[in-house]
Amino acid sequence: MFLKQFYLGCLAHASYVLGSGQEACVIDPQRDVEEYLTELQSQGLKLKYIIETHLHADFVSGHNELAQKTGAEIVFSHKARVELPHIAAQDGQKLSLGDLTLTILETPGHTPESICVLAEDAMSSKKMLFTGDTLFVGDVGRPDLVCQYGYEPEEMAGLLYDSLHKKIMPLDDAVEVYPAHGAGSLCGKNISQERSSTLGEQRKFNWALKPMDKDSFIESLTRELPEIPKYFGLAVQTNRQGARPLAELPPLQTMTSETVLAKQKEGALLLDVRSPAEFCQGHPAGALNIGLGGQFASFSGILVDADREKIIIGSKEQAQEAVVRLARAGLENVSGYLEDFRTGFTVVSVPQVQVQELAERIARDPSIKVLDVRRKAEYVAGHVPGARSIPLSELAAAVSDLDRDTTLHVICAGGYRSTMAVSLLLQHGFEKLENIEGGTMAWRKAGLDVHVDKPSACSAGS
């Protein structure tokens, strides 16, 4: 038997190649598929199935391209209403893969069509459960991503409770758990850094598998759900239809400053993919910074309009990488890139402030404005005293409530999101902005005081 996990940090996404004998399947593939093809060839495996645990909302899958290149069959739940040739799997249906038997378990809750795949090896007692977004290490999938299709979060949370208790928890403790996401994914709230586990370990440490009644589970799971990123609906529809192969995307063009300036005036977005430090040192006016060094694809999906023309600010290599990573989130309208922007553009710099200096300023003047753009749960767990919380995903809608005449000291966890926030505020006409270098992690490391908000009376899973 052969198993390999492929992990994309920019989407906190895990996919798998599972093989037995000379046959293999790929579970929840990413948009770019060459890694799977290379691995299959090196292992001498023929791809038989491409299994999707559900219609993914946070990334665009490569199932269509994999099927075209290998002839493998795509497997979805029969509830997915997929618009391309596939096996419409039913609950309890079994698929053979060498010495492995793959059993489809319908586990609605994250989405109506969610499934888990139980792989059992006839040559040993080994059992593996590929849980998609139903069960994560330390958490479960959020229940609100299908609200636009008429499903209420409470209804989906109830289905998830039933799926956990009727389909997953009856399995043995030794069953290995392989989810589709890790920490940082937008599909859960408190996913562990661990990328796999066992069902026995999850019974001990996962709040969602602790003894509780259904109403308590629903209340916990549906409390304080984060905003649904605007690109999720686009990704679902693309996955239902099947994304086009990456090779069919238009070739990336190098552009002159004159061309980029003209396109910017026509509405094109300048997407600066360099590091936060490079962006703060100098960038073309109006550019949005999302550095390639972090969860680039996820934040691009949150902050960037899919239909808007995009021009990359960065090197050719950075631009090529950005095109692929944008495509993973379904963002394809990239017309070119510009590396040298210092001719013809207004170049803007942003002061970077050390945490010790910020602390000294606050000590002298407690009215200093600190804007924390982390998620609410991060903020509640500990923040700079007096800091105001506006999560990055909500910032654009909140700009009218911010004082443009007072310097805003923008902070996040480590400086990645705060730089995005600064670039977004600059686009909205703010000028008095300073980025806190190293973020809240640097603040804590320096031994500075952190304010922790009191938890609510019932905080499981929040």
* Predicted confidence (pLDDT) per residue in 218-262, tens digit: 999 999 888 888 899 999 999 999 999 999 999 999 999 999 999
Q: How far apart are CA 29 and CA 61, in angstroms?
A: 6
pLDDT (tens digit per residue) in 130-165: 999 999 999 999 999 997 778 999 999 999 999 999
pTM over 0.85: yes
Decide: 115 and 57 in contact? Cβ < 8 Å: no
pLDDT at residue 455, as a whole number: 54
How high is the pLDDT of residue 335?
95
Question: By C-alpha distance, which of 121, 84, 120, 88 is closest to 106?
Answer: 88
Q: Under DSSP, is residue 339 helix (H, G, I), strand (E, B) or coil?
A: coil
Q: Is the pLDDT of residue 460 over 90?
A: no
Q: In order of start, what are the domains of the chain with their CATH numbers?
A: 2-238 (3.60.15.10), 249-348 (3.40.250.10), 352-445 (3.40.250.10)
Chain mean pLDDT for the chain: 94
Average pLDDT over residues 405-420: 97
- Averaged pLDDT, 384-405: 95
Distance of alpha carbon 334 from alpha carbon 387, whole angstroms: 37
Distance of alpha carbon 370 from alpha carbon 439, whole angstroms = 11
Phi, psi of 255 (to 5 degrees): -125, 155
Give the pairing type, strands 369-372 and 197-198.
unpaired
**Contact indicator for 387, 411 with CB cutoff of 8 Å:** yes
Q: Which of 315, 309, 332 is nearest to 323 (CA)?
A: 332
Per-residue pLDDT tens over the stretch 75-131: 999 999 999 999 999 999 999 999 999 999 999 999 999 999 999 998 888 999 999
**Whether residue 434 has pLDDT greater than 50:** yes
**pLDDT bucket at 457, cuts 50 / 70 / 90:** very low
SS3 416: helix
Tell which wins on pLDDT, 224 or 315: 315
Residue carrying the six token digits 């073309």: 284
Q: How far is CA 8 from the centre of its chain?
A: 9
* pLDDT digits 0-9 by tens, 219-231: 999 998 888 888 9
The label of the residue with tokens 């086009």 reads: 244
C-beta neighbour count of 151 within 10 angstroms: 17
What is the mean predicted confidence (pLDDT) over 57-83?
97
- In order, the DSSP letters of 264-326 are HHTT-EEEE-S-HHHHHH-EETTPEE--TTSSHHHHHHHHS-TTS-EEEES-HHHHHHHHHHH
Beta-carbon contacts of 343 under 8 Å, excluding residues fewer than 6 positions away, are 257
pLDDT of residue 459: 39
Nearest CA to 114 out of 122, 105, 127, 124 is that of: 105
Mean pLDDT to the nearest integer, 185-193:
86
Q: What is the per-residue DSSP string for 149-173?
A: GT--HHHHHHHHHHHIIIIITTS-T
pLDDT at 123: 86
* Tokens 């198993």 found at: 3
| One-letter identity of residue 181 | H
Average pLDDT over residues 161-188: 95
- On the question of pLDDT at 432 being above 90, the answer is yes
Rg (CA), the chain: 23
Instruction: Indicate the pLDDT class of residue 263, thresholds 50, 70 and 90.
Output: very high
Is the pLDDT confidence value at 461 over 60?
no
Check pLDDT > 60 for residue 183. yes
